[in-house]
Every structure is written in C-alpha cells, then in structure tokens.
Chain A
Amino acid sequence: MLKQTTQASPPVLKKRISDPRWVQILLIGLMLLFFTGFIFLPLALVFAQAFQKGWSFYLESIREPYAVEAIKLTLLTTAVVVPLNAVFGLSAAWAITKFNFAGKTALKSLLDLPFAVSPVIAGLIFVLLVGSRTPFGSWLGEHGIKIIFSTPGIIIATLFVTFPFVARELIPLMEAQGRDEEEAAVTLGARGWQIFGIITLPNIRLGLLYGMILCSARSIGEFGAVSVVSGHIRGQTNTIPLHVEILYSEYNFTASFAVASLLVFLALLTVVLKSSLEKQFQNNSLEH
C-alpha cells in the first residue's frame, strides 16, 4: 500500500545508538549476498542471454510477427483492464469511505479476495463459467461469441487478478483524508460530479496513479491465469509472457530472453515509478 511502503529514508535519523560497525558491515554484506543471488544475477542473466547472439538477433526476436502480435495483445489487454479496474476502484473507495452502511467491513475484505486466489484458479473459474463445455459458454458459442481461448477470456482473467489494486490504494488514502472537503463543497452548492472532479480526484491523483501502475504491471506480466484461458494460439491469443514461455519450451532460449528483456524493462520502470511516487507522496503528506 502506498502509505505503508514508504521509502526507507526518514528525514533525519539521529545517530545516537546504533549497531557496532562490524555488525553493520556484516548485515549489509549478507543482504547484498541475498540481493546478488536473487535479484542481480537473474537480472544480469536476462540481458546476457538476450544478447548472446548479438544485437541483430535481439531485434529480430522482438520484431518477428508473433512477438509483435503478442505485444499488441498485451497492450490491448492492459488498455482495457486498467481503466475498468480504476473506475471500479474509484467507485468502491467512494462508497466505502464517504458513507456508513451495514456490511462495509465484509465488502472491504471481499475486495481483497483475488489476492488470495492462485492465478491458475483465477483462470479455471472463467473456464468453468464460460468455457465451451459449460451451458453458458455453449449458449454464447451458438451466438458466435467465443470467450475462452480468445481475447475476451484473457481480458476477463486479467481483470480478476488485477481487480483489487486501485481500490486497495484508494481506500486507506481516502479514509485518511476524511469527508470534510467534500462536505464543505456540498455546503457551497456543488453537485456530485463537481465535488468528485474538482475536489476528490485531485486529492487522490497520486494514489490513483500508483494503483494504476501496479495494476498495469500485473496485467502485462500475468502468466498463470492467462495461460489457462488463452489456448496458446500463436499470433492470436499469446500475450508477451506466454510468448516467452513458448519460445523457452522450444529451446529457443535467446529469443525467449530477448522478449523477456522487454518485460524486465517494464518491471524496472514500474519499480522506479513506484518509488518516485512514494517519495512524492511523502513530501505531499509532510506539507499538510
């Protein structure tokens, strides 16, 4: 959450008592060892493998038609999923933080449900709901609508796994901000959408952006759920992670890592954006 994962840099840390120097060096060393094994080496490996056969092979791997189709599908999925979940997040946060009603706590915990569900199960449930062997799915099929093993299925499964991201960021933020400003706006004669657009939305823009970034990252990288509903049809229902998997299982490692490197760039970008937003958020909260 935005508020909790603050940067580990409190403005002033008075240097009074601290661990002895050798302990510090030992612990930092241990941490670096862990980071090397689990973060740096894997990252380095991706690039070493991706460029093993040279720059032109790299470019070719990410420019070949199947790769391009996979990129397009991933972008399409993200472009549909993120706005939908953002609108939902705003709506849920508004209902939960601006009003009191029975069942609020239950609703709040239901929002987090998808986080507790294995990605494979996230895919499975949509196969069970609208797969061609289910009543509803075969009815849809008769009307020429195919969901599983096609783009809509990928989008729905991704919607499920990224469902809580925006709401989770907005609810604590809006709870902390309270209702005062909205109430003031209401006494000044503002209508619902005016209050939301002029007052609430600017107040939560950072949290919203943060949630949307996390949502995008997950929807670009989702593998398990998408893998269940996709059918792995090259050039049609392959997202970038699925394309990576196929290349890898065909022992086309270099191409696989080349495409994977795109995802690594995006992950690094996400991490940078995330931490810079956190910093900005901290500065903002210091102002008020």
Chain B
Amino acid sequence: MAAYLLRKLRDTIFTLLLVSVIVFIIFALIPGNPARIIAGVNATPEKVAFIEAELGLDQPLPIRFINYLGGLLTGNPGQSLRFNVPVTDLIVDAAPITLGLAFYAFFMVILLAIPLGLIASRRPGGVVDTVIHVVTETTLAIPPFFMAIVLMLLFRVTQADVGGSLSSGEILTFGDHLKMLTLPALAIALSRLAMVVEFLRDALVEESHTDYVRTAKGKGASRMRIRMVHVLRNCLVPTITALGLILAEIIGGSIIIEQVFLLPGLGRLLFTAVEARDFPLVQTIIMLIAVLVVLVNFVVDLLNQFIDPRLRVVQSHSRRHRKYQPTVAAAKKKGNS
C-alpha cells in the first residue's frame, strides 16, 4: 500500500507539473500583452516597458516559468493585475462558493441517482424503468445554463435573489449557502443525473444475473438482502468511477452556471481574469481546479480499492493495468487469471 501511495504521489506531481507547463505556455503564446492592458490605450512604449519589467515579463520564458512555479509552491502566486490584490485573497473569497456549489450538486446527484437506479433496475424494461430513463435523458439533453433559466422561471426566482446581492468576501453561513445554491446546484445535478442513473441501473441489472446472486438465492436470502448486500456492492465500483468523473466535471464546469446566477465564485473570477489577461490569477485558478480534479481521482481510486479487494492486488502488483478505469468486468478478468 505504501509503495502504491508513493507511486500515486509521483504520478500526481507529474500531472500537476504538466498542467502548469501547459497553462503557462498557452498564456505566453496568446496575443494580448498584459502590460499594455494595464497601461491603457494611450500609454507610451516606455511606460509599457516599465510595467513589463515590473511584472517580470521582460525576462526569458524559462525564468518566468520558474518564478511562476516558485510562487505557486510557496503559496504566493503574486498580485492580481486586474484587482491589484493578492491572488490568494481573491481565491479564498471565491472558492467556497464554487466548491459549495460543486459538492451540493454532487450530493444531489448521489441522493437522486442511487434510489432512481435501484428503482429502475427492479423491472428492466418496465414502465418505471422507461419513465426514469426518458426523464433523465431529457434532463441530460437540456444544457445546464438553460435548465438554470427554466428553474428560475419555474420557482419565480431572479438572479438578484440568488447571487446578485452578494458582494465578494462576504461571510456566509451554511444556511445562506444552502438557500443561495439550491437552484444552481439543482441545475447542474439534473444535467449530470442521467449518466449515473444509467450506469448504476445497467450495473444492477447485469449483476443480478450473476452466479453469486444465484448462490445467495440458494442460501434463502431475501430479494432485499440480495440487492443491498450482494448486488449493490458489486455495482459500486463502476458507479463511483462515474461519480468521480462527474465531480471533476462539475468542479470545472460551474463557470457558466455561476454566470447565470451571478454567483461570485471561481468561475466568474476566471472569466474576468481571462478577459483582463490577468495571468497570475488565471494560472492559479486553473492550477487549483487541476489539483481538485486530481484529488478527486485519487479518492475514487482509494474508495474502489476499499470496496473491491481484487483491485488492491492488481494495483500493487501490476503497473501496466494501473491506468485503466477499474471496471467490474476488468476486475473479474484479472480475478480469473
């Protein structure tokens, strides 16, 4: 296990390093000189050069990259060009809203998807299964931002009610969060629901025809016991993998929803920062999201190994299989060999 964690840590560091390089290079390549934007349209070339020097933009790229990386690692990624305050201050204010939204939406997905999957799989192809399928497909087909608008109209809520009145940096209680984030979270959750329900339902249907289910019936286990103790457990690995992908998607994809609801989260901050070529801010936000996504994948891996003992063996002995998504089918194949 320790060896596995070390390897995982090494991979994580490489992943994050790669992300930081890509973000840096993109920003070095895109047109638009931040110094010119700060200086204004009428600034003299001397003034622009002065600002460039101040920002360290006159230095060669490798030096700039090392400075930027050093800033990230020491927790001091610099000043925001647009807001003229430390980047960390801006992020500390905005992150709770984005993360709150993401996790709220995520828990909605879990709370809705697991019961729906269980109910749908009771009679595959039956009326209930079909209705659930059609409804979740529909919510999948509607883009989240449009769903957000529909929800606002439906609940007679305006942007001002949700995030419009909010100023950045305001201290919010848990209750405020809940009230404010329910509709945005619902808009996100509804669009992600279909995939998880479908995954879980298919896994449940497939697993209920396995030999160990027949064994459990031979033991005299009740239908309920078979589903909850045996079948559901065997469906958790693919479901958790799907949930992990979705959480990563939600974290990265809340930008538009925050726009619609005027929530001052990371998404809106990122939007403003890109417009203003505020590269310290953009780079830091993207790195933060990258770290979160990597972290989520790591947790998914750990959870799956906790649930499925076969993955523990596979992961600690074989490097080659490590990159594959741990699906039940793959695990079974490995178990057989």
A binds B: no
Question: Residues on B close to A: CB < 8 A?
Answer: none
